[in-house]
Amino acid sequence: MAVVFQKPKSLTDAELHYCPGCTHGIIHRLVAEAIDTLGIEGKTIGVAPVGCAVMAYNYFACDMVEAAHGRAPAVATGIKRSLPENVVFTYQGDGDLASIGMAETVHAATRNENITVIFVNNAIYGMTGGQMAPTSLPGQVTQTSPYGRDVKVAGYPVKICELLAGLDGPAYLERVAVNNVKNVKNAKRAIEKAFRNQIEGKGFSLIEVVSSCPTNWGMTPEKALQWVEEKMIPYYPLGVYKDKTEEVAK
Amino acid sequence: MAEKVLMKGNEAIAEAAIRAGCRHYFGYPITPQTELAAYMAKRMPKINGVFLQAESEIAAINMVYGVSGTGKRVMTSSSSPGISLKQEGISYIAGSDLPCLIVNVQRGGPGLGGIQPSQSDYFQATKGGGHGDYHLIVLTPDSVQEMADLTALAFDLSDKYRVPAMLLADGTLGQMMEPVALPEEHVNRVEKPWAVTGTEGKRKHNIINSLYLVPEQLEEKNLERYRRYKAIEENEARFESYMMDDAEYCIVAFGIAARVSKNAVVALRKEGIKAGLIRPITIWPFPKKVIAEAAEKVKAFVSVELSMGQMIEDVKLAEDCKKPVVLCNRVGGMIPTPDQVIETVKKIAGGNA
Amino acid sequence: MAKVTFQTDLCKGCGLCVAACPKKILVIAKDKINKKGHSPAEMTDQSQCIGCAFCATMCPDCVITVEK
Report percent pLDDT > 70 for chain A.
Answer: 99
For residues A38 and C28, give the distance between their C-alpha atoms in angstroms, rounded to a whole number: 35
Instruction: Flag whether residue C54 sits within 8 Å of chain A, measured between CB atoms.
Output: yes
How are beta strands A116-121 and A205-210 bridged, if at all?
Answer: parallel
Interchain CB distance below 8 Å, B66 and A76 = yes
Nearest CA among A148, A50, C23 for reference residue B88: A50
Instruction: Flag whether residue B21 sits within 8 Å of chain A, measured between CB atoms.
Output: no
Compute CA distances B299 → A161, B287, B302, B342, B353, whole Å: 70, 19, 10, 16, 10
ipTM above 0.90, yes or no: yes
Closest partner CB to A62 (pick from B66, B74, B199): B199
Which residues of chain B does CATH 3.40.50.920 include? 240-352
Interchain CB distance below 8 Å, C60 and A24 = yes
Interchain CB distance below 8 Å, A222 and C61 = no
The pLDDT assigned to B353 comes to 43
What's the average model confidence in pLDDT over A150-155?
Answer: 97
| DSSP result, B201-213 | TTSPPPEE-----
Examine the pLDDT at B79 and tell me if it is beyond 80: yes
**Of C61, C63, C64, C66, which to mutate for an interface test with A (greatest number of A Cβ within 10 Å)?**
C61
How are beta strands A116-121 and A87-93 bridged, if at all?
Answer: parallel
Closest partner CB to A74 (pick from B59, B202, B211): B59
Examine the pLDDT at B188 and tell me if it is beyond 90: no
Whether residue A19 is contained in a domain is answered as no
Edge-first strand order for the sheet with B239-242 is B239-242, B275-280, B249-252, B300-305, B325-329
Phi-psi region of B318 (alpha: psi -120 to 50; beta: other; left: phi over 0): alpha
- Do B and C share at least 3 CB pairs under 8 Å? no
Instruction: Flag whether residue B99 sits within 8 Å of chain A, measured between CB atoms.
Output: no
Closest partner CB to A75 (pick from B62, B202, B210): B62
Interchain CB distance below 8 Å, C59 and A26 = yes
Question: pLDDT category, A247, cuts 50, 70, 90?
Answer: confident
Compute CA distances A39 → A33, A45, B15, B177, B309, whole Å: 10, 13, 41, 54, 59
Cis peptide upstream of residue B285 (ω within 30 degrees of 0): yes
User: What is the average pLDDT score of chain B?
Assistant: 96
Question: How many Å lie between the alpha carbon of C42 and the closest alpha carbon of chain A?
Answer: 16
What's the average model confidence in pLDDT over B40-53?
Answer: 98
The CB density around residue A93, as the number of other CB atoms within 10 Å, is 31
Distance between first and last Cα of chain C: 6
Chain A residues 23-52 with CB within 8 Å of chain B? 41-45, 47
Closest partner CB to B197 (pick from A63, A64, A67): A63
Whether residue A173 is contained in a domain is answered as yes
Q: Could you tell me which residues come within 8 angstroms of residue B322 by beta carbon, excluding any fewer than 6 positions away?
A: B295, B296
For residues C57 and A210, give the distance between their C-alpha atoms in angstroms, rounded to a whole number: 16
Q: Taking CA atoms, what residue in C is nearest to A16?
A: C61
Contact partners for chain B, using 3 or more CB pairs closer than 8 A, are A
Using the Cα atoms of residue A217, residue A219, residue A222 and residue A227 in order, give the sign of their dihedral: negative
Q: Taking CA atoms, what residue in A is nearest to C6?
A: A6
Cis peptide upstream of residue A73 (ω within 30 degrees of 0): no
8 A C-beta contact, residue B39 and residue B14 = yes
Q: What CATH number has the domain spanning B240-352?
A: 3.40.50.920
Contact partners for chain C, using 3 or more CB pairs closer than 8 A, are A
Examine the pLDDT at B228 and tell me if it is beyond 80: yes
Beta bridge partners of B77: B27, B103
Q: Which CATH architecture best describes the domain B4-235?
A: 3-Layer(aba) Sandwich (3.40)
How are beta strands B4-8 and B137-139 bridged, if at all?
Answer: unpaired
Question: pLDDT category, A74, cuts 50, 70, 90?
Answer: very high
| DSSP result, A212-249 | --HHHHTS-HHHHHHHIIIIIHHHS--EEEEE-HHHHH
Which CATH number characterizes residue A137's domain? Answer: 3.40.50.970
Domain definitions of chain C by residue range: 3-67
Report percent pLDDT > 70 for chain B.
Answer: 99
Whether residue A238 is contained in a domain is answered as yes
The pLDDT assigned to A244 comes to 97
pTM (2 d.p.)? 0.96
**Of B206, B207, B213, which to mutate for an interface test with A (greatest number of A Cβ within 10 Å)?**
B207
What's the average model confidence in pLDDT over A157-163?
Answer: 98
What are the chain A neighbours of B58 within 8 Å (beta carbons)? 71, 74, 103-104
Which residues of chain B does CATH 3.40.50.970 include? 4-235
Examine the pLDDT at A246 and tell me if it is beyond 90: no
The CB density around residue B183, as the number of other CB atoms within 10 Å, is 18
Examine the pLDDT at A241 and tell me if it is beyond 90: yes
Examine the pLDDT at A168 and tell me if it is beyond 90: yes
- Do B and A share at least 3 CB pairs under 8 Å? yes
For residues B258 and B300, give the distance between their C-alpha atoms in angstroms, rounded to a whole number: 17
Report percent pLDDT > 90 for chain B.
Answer: 96
What are the chain B neighbours of A80 within 8 Å (beta carbons)? 66
Helices B144-161 and B9-19, axial angle in degrees (round to 10): 40
Class of the CATH-defined domain C3-67:
alpha beta
Query: What residues make up the domain containing A174?
Result: 24-249
For residues C34 and C38, give the distance between their C-alpha atoms in angstroms, rounded to a whole number: 6
What's the average model confidence in pLDDT over B181-210?
Answer: 94
**Of B200, B208, B217, which to mutate for an interface test with A (greatest number of A Cβ within 10 Å)?**
B208
The total domain count for chain A is: 1
| DSSP result, B120-178 | TTHHHHHS-SSSSS---EEE--SSHHHHHHHHHHHHHHHHHHT--EEEEEEHHHHH-EE
| DSSP result, B277-294 | EEEESEEES--HHHHHHH
Q: Could you tell me which residues come within 8 angstroms of residue B48 by beta carbon, excluding any fewer than 6 positions away?
A: B23
Return the minimum-mean-pLDDT range out of A224-228, A244-248, B89-93, B189-193. A244-248
Interchain CB distance below 8 Å, A19 and C54 = no
Q: Taking CA atoms, what residue in A is nearest to B65?
A: A75
pLDDT digits (tens, 9 = 90+) for C3-58: 999 999 999 999 999 999 999 999 999 999 999 999 999 999 999 999 999 999 99
Examine the pLDDT at A214 and tell me if it is beyond 60: yes
Interchain CB distance below 8 Å, A66 and B24 = no
